[in-house]
Chain A
Amino acid sequence: MSFDSIYRIAGSAMNAQTVRLNTVASNLANAESASSSAADVYKARKPVFAAIYENGQLTRSVGMGGAHVQVLDVVTTGREPQRRYEPSNPLADNRGYVYYPDVNSIEEMTDMMSATRSFETSVEVLNKVKSMQQGLLRLGEI
């Protein structure tokens, strides 16, 4: 029955979007976490998604079959931290600078909305497939 692979595909998508929402929450929560050196400051995290085809490969399969989503890794964005001159901050270095993370709040908010929509889509897919399977189970009941 190919229904269980649909459940698995939708489940993998929900899992991936949850990881994405997790990173967004972490980035937004730490947007104002200052540090006294550029090396120690919090760095924005982003998940990397990849499609895993039914044959277990990253390449496209020739035959039938869907593709799961897998979170390959969570990487830091690699942007420079912001340096602000705040001599009154207790974390300021000897020249009066503090370092803030490279988090762009607007970018994170849009990312959050996109992840939420994708998650809702997967829930919708699950509901539809559920009603398809229920219909199939009731087949023959006259």
Chain B
Amino acid sequence: MSIQIEKAFAVHAQAMEVRMQRSEILAANLANESTPGFQARDIDFSSAMRQLEQRSARSDGARTLELKYRVPHQASQDGNTVELAVEQAEFARNAMDFQTSLTFLTMKFSGLKKAIEGQ
């Protein structure tokens, strides 16, 4: 019986990829907080994960995830839909989720190590 690395790491590697791309989008939203007409965008995590799963099944290497526009609580006069507090909260949460995935992966690593060493 052999250990399959992809199976052993399960969904966490993909989750981290989505988290990383999402942090880029959220960073762009935060950066354009005072750009007139800028529309905040975001990734829907569950649909992105599903998309990634289908992609790895087909393995055609399409790297584009679907971006959605954020619906602001209150529209601003200059057409900018970035709400600083919302974006900051989402960014912080996304960073925390990234750390969670990292922790899961580290736990997988230590489990594999234990299995290899037979202790």
Binding site for B on A (CB under 8 A): 2-3, 5-6, 9-10, 12-13, 16-17, 20, 49-51, 60, 62-69, 114-115, 117-118, 121-122, 124-125, 128-129, 131-132, 135-136, 139-142
Q: Is the CB of A49 within 8 A of B35?
A: yes
Give the Cβ gap from A78 to chain B, nearest Cβ, in Å: 17
Partner of B27, one of A9, A49, A62, A141: A9
The A interface is mostly helix, strand or loop, or mixed, namely: helix
How many angstroms from the CA of A75 to the CA of B91 in the assembled complex? 33
Give the Cβ gap from B38 to chain A, nearest Cβ, in Å: 5
One digit per residue, 1 when the CB lies within 8 angstroms of any chain A CB and 0 when it does not, for chain B 1-41 equals 00000000000000010001101110110111111111100
Partner of A125, one of B21, B27, B110: B27
Give the Cβ gap from A44 to chain B, nearest Cβ, in Å: 17
The B interface is mostly helix, strand or loop, or mixed, namely: helix
Partner of A13, one of B31, B65, B92, B98: B31
Instruction: Output the nearest chain A residue to B99 by Cβ-Cβ distance.
Output: A135
Partner of B23, one of A17, A63, A129, A135: A129
Partner of B31, one of A10, A64, A135, A136: A10
How many angstroms from the CA of A135 to the CA of B35 in the assembled complex? 32
Q: Is the CB of A135 within 8 A of B34?
A: no
Residues of chain B with a CB closer than 8 A to A69's CB? 31-32, 35
Residues of chain A with a CB closer than 8 A to B63's CB? 63-64
